[in-house]
Every structure is written in structure tokens, then in C-alpha cells.
Amino acid sequence: MRFLGIESSCDETGVALVQLLPDGAARLRGAALHSQVAMHRDYGGVVPELASRDHIRRVLPLMEAALEEAGVDLRAVDAVAYTRGPGLAGALLVGAGVAAALAMALGVPALGVHHLEGHLLSPFLSADPPAFPFVALLVSGGHTQLMRVDGVGRYALLGETIDDAAGEAFDKSAKLLGLGYPGGPALSRLAQQGDPAAFALPRPLLHSGDLDFSFAGLKTAVLTQVRKLGPALAARRADLAAATEAAIVDVLVHKAAQAMRATGLQRLVVAGGVGANQRLRAQLDERARRAGWRVHYPELALCTDNGAMIALAAAMRWQAGGWPPHGDGWAFDVRPRWPLQALTPAAPA
Ligand code: ATP
Ligand code: MG
Ligand code: FE
């Protein structure tokens, strides 16, 4: 069965075709992506109205590119999946509207997918897929959560950020360092030339005993350093970037390890844009080696938003019996706010 996936929750338009093989394995057949980052850069953040309009412009050409790479035409599509939420309402409506119209024209089910379920399941498309149950560290631009995952839709929240998300901490610190928007990748590139011990930055909630996170105080500490340095910042930028990255990564690794101990599980899945961070990957791998558990990551290209994770989540939920035969129907809605824990199991426990 072939699932077309459409992602349009924020500032990336992604379309991909994922094929579910008879043995249950999922294969990515074709994918196309357009990032609006350059368009929003002048505004220092995502402008919702511009985002929606750009999704409209991009979605059909991207779909054609994804199908061409897969070597099939639209008639080969057996279901059309779209991001139903969470995200920007207008942006979500573009993907949902296009998906429902396509599905209706093709006479196939339309499937509304939870964006974070997409992130969470994305490592199943990697060469080294995980198996249930596992602990998931979801670290994206809008979320920082530790979840216990027992199957598709069987998610128990272990802890989450009480203020900023990890990606947000990267982006806001990068902005303070004058690295533009979104600065996560730029900050981590610059950090490679710096000394992470050059500045003593706080590790909020490191020893709180629970599995919650807080990153707002770190951002304030970076701001304090930037002000203190003044014109001297230029020469110390790489050091401050390295110290910031180290502080964020330390907290993530510490809490992930704590979640592994608390659950007694053997597998950790890292998903979301911050999962592309090399320092995070290296430190988690090292911790896993010592503690005897395993870490699974999505392919680098699938860490940030993309259509493949949406098609995959639909395929896995479909396979587990998570949808009625007609899917969500051709009338559609979107859910800009939609907690992951609100999802129900794809199959009865
Ligand atoms: P959400 O999925 O929570 O709605 P989002 O879709 O905006 O948010 P993602 O696309 O998963 O988030 O990830 C984007 C975030 O990942 C940004 O904050 C970005 O700075 C961060 N990011 C991407 N690459 C890296 C990296 N190498 N190091 C650190 N942060 C990174
Ligand atoms: Mg994005
Ligand atoms: Fe995302």
C-alpha cells in the first residue's frame, strides 16, 4: 500500500510517498521538501499568513516531484495523509484541504496525522529501526518531552519543558549571539570552534529529581553574558556558542538517562530537529554504551519537518488498525493545539 504524506504545519512544505510492504516494513519511495526559512528570516520568525500562502504555492509541484522520484503517478496512491495538528491553523488547512481533495478525487482515504507522532515514529524509516517499547526524547522547535512509548498511539508523558523547548533555547540563544534565525544549526556549527568550558552557564532543573525541563533561565544567562562582553563578544562568540550548546545537551542527556533508569527500558528514540545535533548524538551514544541501552535516531534529513514522517505515521497507524476503512473522511478539520497524549492506541491493548 502506498501512502502520500503532506506536511504543512509550520514553515516547511513536505510531500513524500511511503510504501508499506506485505511484511510490514515501510520504505520511503520519494520525497520533496521546501523550507520557507529564507522567506521568514527578515522578520526574525515565522509569519503565519506568509507561511500559508507559500504552502499553497509549493504543495502541488512538490507532490509531483515526490511522485516522479518514486516513479509512479497519482493513481498509485492508496491513501493521502496530512498533518492535522498541532501547528499554525492556516498552514495546516492548506495541507488538509489539498489532501482531502486529492483523496476524494482518487476515491481513497484521507488520514489526519499528529505532527509529533510523525516525529516520534520517524526513526522507523532508518536503516536501524527501533522496536516497541522505548523511551522517546522529543526535542523540536516547539516541544521537549520524554515519553514512554508502548506502541502506535500508546504514549505516556514522563516529563516535559515547563517553559521554552530545546530548539527554542538554541534559536533564542543564537539570536542573542547574532546568528540569525532559526539559529540552532548555525549555533552548533560555531560551537565546534569554541570551548564549552569557557563560560559557566546554568543547567536548569538538572537535579530536580523529576523528568521536567526548563530552558528560559539559560537564555537569560546567555543574555547576561552577551551584555557583559559588549564589544568583546565578537572574539568570544564561538566559546559562548559552545557553552550554550553544552548546557542544553547536558540537561537533555541527563534527563534521558534518568528516564531510562526510571522505566527500565533498553531503547531510547530521539526525534525532532534538535535530534540532528551532533554533540547530543555523541553524548547519548557514549552514555548508552556505558549503561547498556541503545539509541535510535531518524535519518538526519528526517529530523526536522518533512512529508515522509507523516506518510509513515499514517502507514503505521493504518497497519495497526488505527483508522476506520474510510479514514477520517473527506470533510476535514485541523487541530492547532493537540497534545500527543490525547491520541488513542492504534489497536486495543
Ligand atoms: P514542533 O515539531 O515542535 O512543532 P518544529 O516543527 O518547528 O516544532 P522541528 O522542525 O522538529 O521543529 O525542529 C526545528 C528545530 O530544531 C529548530 O529549533 C532548530 O533550531 C533545531 N535544530 C535543527 N538542527 C539543529 C542542530 N543541528 N542543533 C541544534 N538544534 C537544531
Ligand atoms: Mg521548521
Ligand atoms: Fe516539527
For 1-20, write each residue's pLDDT tens digit.
Answer: 999 999 999 999 999 999 99
Distance 11 CA to ligand 2 centre (A): 5
Atom of ligand 1 nearest to the CA of 166: 18
**Is a pLDDT exceeding 80 seen at residue 349?**
no
Distance 90 CA to ligand 3 centre (A): 16
The ligand minimizing its distance to the Cα of 182 is: 1
Q: Once rounded to an integer, what is the mean pLDDT over residues 9-34? A: 96
Report angle CA 186, 187, 192 to the nearest 5 degrees: 100
Residue of 283, 303, 335, 338 with the most ligand 1 atoms within 8 Å of its CB, for mutation: 303
Q: Is 206 helix (H, G, I), strand (E, B) or coil?
A: coil
- The reply to whether 140 sits in an annotated binding site is yes
- The reply to whether 306 sits in an annotated binding site is no
Helices and strands in the chain: count of H runs, count of E runs: 10, 10
- The reply to whether 119 sits in an annotated binding site is yes
Q: How far is CA 327 from CA 81, 84, 331, in A?
A: 9, 13, 11
Question: 208: left (phi > 0), else alpha (psi -120 to 50), else beta?
Answer: alpha
What is the number of other CB atoms lying within 10 angstroms of the CB of residue 56? Answer: 17
Look at ligand 1, atom 7, and give the residue with the nearest C-alpha: 141
**Can you tell me the ipTM of this complex?**
0.98
Whether this prediction's pTM lies above 0.80 is answered by yes
- The reply to whether 115 sits in an annotated binding site is yes
pLDDT in tens, 232-288: 999 999 999 999 999 999 999 999 999 999 999 999 999 999 999 999 999 999 999
Q: How far is CA 81 from CA 70, 174, 179, 232, in A?
A: 17, 34, 35, 51
Residue 181, pLDDT score:
83
Compute the chain's Rg from CA coordinates.
20
Please tell me if the CB atom of residue 14 comes closer than 6 angstroms to any atom of ligand 1: no
Residues near 303 by beta carbon (within 8 Å), at least 6 away in sequence = 122, 271, 272, 273, 274, 275, 276, 297
Residues near 105 by beta carbon (within 8 Å), at least 6 away in sequence = none
Which single residue is written with the C-alpha cell 531510562?
260
Residue 239, pLDDT score:
98
The ligand minimizing its distance to the Cα of 87 is: 1
Look at ligand 1, atom 10, and give the residue with the nearest C-alpha: 304
Task: Give the mean pLDDT of the chain.
Answer: 96
Does residue 38 contact residue 32 with C-beta atoms inside 8 Å? no
Please tell me if the CB atom of residue 167 comes closer than 6 angstroms to any atom of ligand 1: yes
pLDDT in tens, 91-117: 999 999 999 999 999 999 999 999 999
The ligand minimizing its distance to the Cα of 143 is: 1
What domains can you pick out in the chain, each with its CATH number? 2-122+302-342 (3.30.420.40), 129-297 (3.30.420.40)
Please tell me if the CB atom of residue 10 comes closer than 6 angstroms to any atom of ligand 1: yes
What is the spatial distance between Cα 171 and Cα 45, in angstroms, rounded to a whole number? 10
Confidence tier at 348 by pLDDT (50, 70, 90)? low
What is the spatial distance between Cα 166 and Cα 235, in angstroms, rounded to a whole number? 26
